[in-house]
Structure 1
Amino acid sequence: MATRVASSRCLAAGVGEDMIVNSMKEYEDRAVYLPLKRSKLQDLTNKLKASRLSCPLVDTSRWDDVEA
C-alpha cells in the first residue's frame, strides 16, 4: 500500500518518471545516481517546489471539509 501511495504522490507532483522504479536494484541504482548528479537532483527539487503551488494534494483549502 505504501508503495502505491508514494507512486501516486510522485506522479501527482510531476516526478514520477524520475522517482518510480520497478525493482530493488533500480531503487539502489537511483539512490546512488542522484547524489552523484547534483544537477539532476536540483532539477527534481525545483520540480517539487514548483508543484507545491499547483498540486491538488497540497492544496490545503481543498481538504478543509475532511477535517471538519
Structure 2
Amino acid sequence: MPPRLTAQDFDQELLILFDAYVHGNLDRRGFLDKAQRFAKAGVTAAGLLAALSPNFAAGQQVAKDDA
C-alpha cells in the first residue's frame, strides 16, 4: 500500500476546493471540474478526490478492554 498522503502533498487551492466540497458549498461535479487543473500525468480529478477523502476503514480500532 502506498504511503498515506498529507495536506502538505496537495496544492493549497485544491485543499480549499475540497473544503468547500465537504462542507456542501460546492457539489461533486463542481469540485471535479475545478480540480481537473490540479491533475497531473496519470492522475484524474476523481483520483484527487479519492486521495483527499478519508479512509475510515483504516482508522484506529478501540480495544475491547478500553475503559
In the superposition, the TM-score normalised over structure 1's length comes to 0.31
Identify, as 1 or 2, the structure richer in helix: 1
In the superposition, the TM-score normalised over structure 2's length comes to 0.31
